Structure 1
Amino acid sequence: MAEHRHDTHPDIINRLKRAEGHLKSVIAMIEDGRPCLDIAQQLHAVEKAITNAKRTLIQDHLDHCLEDTVGALQHDQRRSLDEFKLITKYL
């Protein structure tokens, strides 16, 4: 399989590494018997980092891979694709 990279991949890697750090912190907090509120806050940070990484990856795919596959579109077709890309931001 050919190498597949986009400009956003370093950002995605950074987000996932941040999530990894937060997750390690959560594990240590549970092992240390830290308060549930503190643990929940860290778990929320893990979720946000992963969600943001996923959103960036999906948007990047739509902006590049899908565009390359579909090619040039007429204005009315272009509008539908643009709306599809916009609505995916709410996933």
Structure 2
Amino acid sequence: MEPITVAELLRMASLMTAVYAAGAGLVLLLAPAEVWSWPHPVAAVRSALESGAVDLLLIAVANVMFAARAAAAVSREFARDVAALFVLLTTSPKGELA
């Protein structure tokens, strides 16, 4: 008996994933809608937001997003300045100055 190769393992994993996805798709298509709406996640999220339980989390996420945007802008400006300096230092002047 020959050992199983990596390519065969990947083929089996791909086949298993395809079969699982097809089965899950059939289950989602054939099951009635009431089965999937039982936990009512929209109502739970709405009540959590209205109670103020996640206000600090939302503020922290907003602060992180703001800081990330600011850091990205600074890094873009720095990269632009480095590129401009590189161009200035590596090009030779032409014309009257040479």
> What's the TM-score bracket when you normalise by the shorter of the two chains?
0.3 to 0.5
Which of the two has higher C-alpha Rg?
Answer: 2
TM norm structure 2: 0.35
TM norm structure 1: 0.37
Determine which structure has greater relative contact order: mean sequence separation of CA pairs < 8 Å that are 6+ residues apart, divided by chain length. Answer: 1
